[in-house]
Every structure is written in structure tokens, then in C-alpha cells.
Amino acid sequence: MKKIKIYLLLALVLAVVISVLLYNKSKMESKSRPEIVSAIAVTVSPVTKATVSNSRTLVGTIIANNDVTIPSETQGKIVAVYANVGDYKPTGSVLFQVDDELKRAAFAAAEASFEKSKKDFERFQALQQQQTVSEQQYENARLALKNAEAQYTIARRQLDDTKIKTPISGVITARYVDVGATVQMNNVVANVVDISKLKVKVNVGEREAFLLNAGDKTEVETNVYPGVAFIGRIVSIGAKADDAHTYPVEILLDNNSAHPLKAGMFAKISFTSLSATEELTIPRQALLGSMKNSKVFVVEGDVAKLRSIVISGESGNLLLISSGLDEGDMVVVNGQNNLKDNASVTIAR
């Protein structure tokens, strides 16, 4: 009985070992068999060169060539006003008079002290030549003159500051004080703009920022004067983009009496200097990722390879390519969402 049990146990162990060996053999054979991968059907389009028009018409804002806020450089009561909103004032015109009684008295005292010190120094200078005064006495007289001259200069400037003047020629656009008001140092009292010349501020894209140059001519139009084109000239192109990845451009143009323009108006700007160029292009639907981190699948033989590209601009439904592709490359335009790098593909006809 015991022998029978032993034989049965041995038979069971042998059966288990044989089963394990057969399973491992089957697993090894399945691994050694090549995996059959079916090719993915895609539609492709060649990278082509196209003549791209670079002409652009953008909307900007007209601003004053010079816009100045005028602060008070003294403190005191306003006793006279010589400026009203809308007045034209040449450079140096007095706009406000601040009470100058004390400043005038201080100036008179400083002037008298300066004149006395000047005469004293001249007298000591003559005596020094005769060697009848000491070097110390002469030096004291010289220093007294220098100090009196400094006090005179300060008093004259403080008296002059009681007349608040415009530093530019222009039109008064705002007045913030009236007669009787008390102003403190650096209080803004008026705003003056020079619109004899005007600037147009407009933001351009990355591509235009590199195609445009300072000095290029532009055409500027407004809704106020339909059909009238004002000729402007680019004076600056921003070196840093804003959050929207556009660059500020300023255009200078003359204002004229026949068609006067005002600061704050909208304007349409045509960049006439942007000539057509030949560019590598691909259809927009080939793009994977964003315009900043751009990739496409390029078919080489029967394999799709993922490639990084640099996009320099757009023209309708075409993307302009500056690097990463060559003319004649076949890019996937349909079916790319099912692909991985180095995937097998078949081109749909």
C-alpha cells in the first residue's frame, strides 16, 4: 500500500514538472515569433516653395510726438494763469505765476551780497599785488565771493521757478490749477502736447519685426479722411516682444493743416516696403503641437519620422518654414494622430 502511494506521488510530481517544461517552451516560442505590425494609412503632402506676399495692413493708434506733463518746481499760491485748454503756447511761455514776493526779496538780498563780495575781492586782489594783505585775508575774500555767487545763483533760480513755463511748443490739453490754488513742489499743473508731428504706434508679429527696418516708408489712413494716405517713416522697432509676442513699432508723420490729425485717433498702416519672398511651405493641417514647439511627421520610405521644425510665419492655410524641412520632403497631413516615431506607414492614394 505504501509503495503504491509512493508511486502515485512520484507520478504526480513528474506530471507537474512536465507541465511546467511544456509551458515554458510554449512561452519561449511565442517570444521568438516576430510580431506582425500592420502599416498605418496616411495622406502626405510635399514641402513646396511658394511666393508669399508680405504686405500687411494693421491697425494702430496715433499719439502725440511729444506729450509733456508740467510740474511746479516751487511751492506757493497761484496768482495768475496765462493758459487755457486748447491754447497753443511756444516753448518758454509762462503758463502760471506763483506768488514771488518772498523769493524776490531773497533774490535782492543775494544780489546785493554778491555785488559787495565782488567789490571786496577786487579790493583784496589789488592789495595782494601790493603785498599789503596776507594770503589768508585774500583767500577769505575769494571764498566769500564764491559763496555769495552760489547764493545768488540759487536765489535767481528760485525766483525764476515762480514762473511756470512750458518746455515745448504745443497745445494745452489739461490745466489742473486756477488762481488762488496752492501748489507744492512737483505738483502737476498742466499737460502740453506737440502735434506738429505725430507718431503712430502699432504692434507687429515676429516675422514683420525682422523684415521691417527703421527708415522704411509706410502709408497711413484714417476713417476721418477716406482715401487720403499720409506718408510716414518707421523710427523705431521694439527689441523685446510683449506677452502676445508682438513688437511695438513707431511711425513718424507730419501733421498738416489741410487734413489735420489728432492724438488718440485710430489709423490703418500699410507697410509698403514688405516685398514678396519665396518661402518653404507646408499645409497647416500637418502641424503637431503649438506654433512655438512645432513638429511634423515626415515619411521616409515606408516609415514616418517625427521631426522638429521652426515656423517663421503664416500665409492663409500655409505655414512658412525656416528650418527643419527641405523642399520635396513628404509631410503627413492626415492620419498623424495615430502615429509614433518610426511607425510603419502606407501612403493612401
Grid cell, residue 128, equals 595782494
- For residues 84-106, give the mean pLDDT: 97
The pLDDT of residue 190 is 98
Q: Is the pLDDT of residue 238 over 90?
A: yes
Under the phi-then-psi rule, with left for phi > 0, alpha for psi from -120 to 50, and beta for the rest, what region is 263?
beta
Half-sphere exposure (CA, 13 Å, Cβ side) for 92?
0
The pLDDT of residue 132 is 83
The pLDDT of residue 276 is 74
- For residues 8-19, give the mean pLDDT: 62
The pLDDT of residue 334 is 93
Residue whose C-alpha is closest to residue 144's, from 101, 186, 114, 173: 114
Q: Is the pLDDT of residue 96 over 90?
A: yes
Q: Is the pLDDT of residue 29 over 60?
A: no
- For residues 196-201, give the mean pLDDT: 95
Task: Please tell me the distance from the alpha carbon of residue 45 to that of residue 283, in angstroms, as a whole number.
Answer: 8
The pLDDT of residue 31 is 53
Q: Is the pLDDT of residue 234 over 90?
A: yes
Helix axes 135-160, 101-129, angle to 10 degrees: 160
The pLDDT of residue 248 is 95
**Statement: the pTM of the whole predicted model exceeds 0.75:** no
CB 233 within 8 A of CB 251: yes
Planar angle of CA 289, 292, 296, nearest 5 degrees: 40
The pLDDT of residue 329 is 95
Task: Please tell me the distance from the alpha carbon of residue 126 to that of residue 124, in angstroms, as a whole number.
Answer: 5
Write the CA distances from 168 to 69, 110, 312, integer angstroms.
11, 31, 43
Question: 236-243: long-range contacts at Cβ-Cβ below 8 A with a sequence spacing of 24 or more?
Answer: 237/204, 237/209, 237/212, 237/213, 238/209, 241/206, 241/209, 242/203
Task: Please tell me the distance from the alpha carbon of residue 263 to that of residue 295, in angstroms, as a whole number.
Answer: 45
Query: Which of the four pLDDT bands, split at 50, 70 and 90, describes residue 174?
Result: very high
pLDDT > 90 fraction of the chain, expressed in percent and rounded: 66
Grid cell, residue 196, equals 506738429
Q: Is the pLDDT of residue 16 over 90?
A: no
The pLDDT of residue 206 is 82
Q: Is the pLDDT of residue 133 over 60?
A: yes
Query: Which of the four pLDDT bands, split at 50, 70 and 90, describes residue 23?
Result: low
Query: Which of the four pLDDT bands, split at 50, 70 and 90, describes residue 210?
Result: confident
Query: Which of the four pLDDT bands, split at 50, 70 and 90, describes residue 295?
Result: very high
Grid cell, residue 50, equals 511658394
- For residues 122-151, give the mean pLDDT: 90
Task: Please tell me the distance from the alpha carbon of residue 283 to that of residue 272, in angstroms, as a whole number.
Answer: 27
For the segment 38-80, what is each residue's pLDDT rounded down to a tens digit? 788 999 999 999 887 777 788 999 999 999 999 999 999 999 9
The pLDDT of residue 10 is 61
321 beta partners: 280, 311
Query: Which of the four pLDDT bands, split at 50, 70 and 90, describes residue 284?
Result: very high
Mean pLDDT of the chain: 89
Planar angle of CA 288, 291, 292, nearest 5 degrees: 110
Between 193 and 36, residue with greater pLDDT: 193
Which domains does the chain possess?
41-52+277-347 (2.40.420.20), 57-64+195-270 (2.40.30.170), 69-189 (2.40.50.100)
Question: Out of 5-14, 96-105, 166-175, which region has the weakest mean confidence (pLDDT)?
Answer: 5-14
pLDDT > 70 fraction of the chain, expressed in percent and rounded: 89
Grid cell, residue 335, equals 492620419
Query: Which of the four pLDDT bands, split at 50, 70 and 90, describes residue 151?
Result: very high
Write the CA distances from 170 to 23, 83, 174, 177, 190, integer angstroms.
97, 12, 12, 19, 12
Sign of CA dihedral 42, 47, 51, 53: positive
Between 2 and 297, residue with greater pLDDT: 297
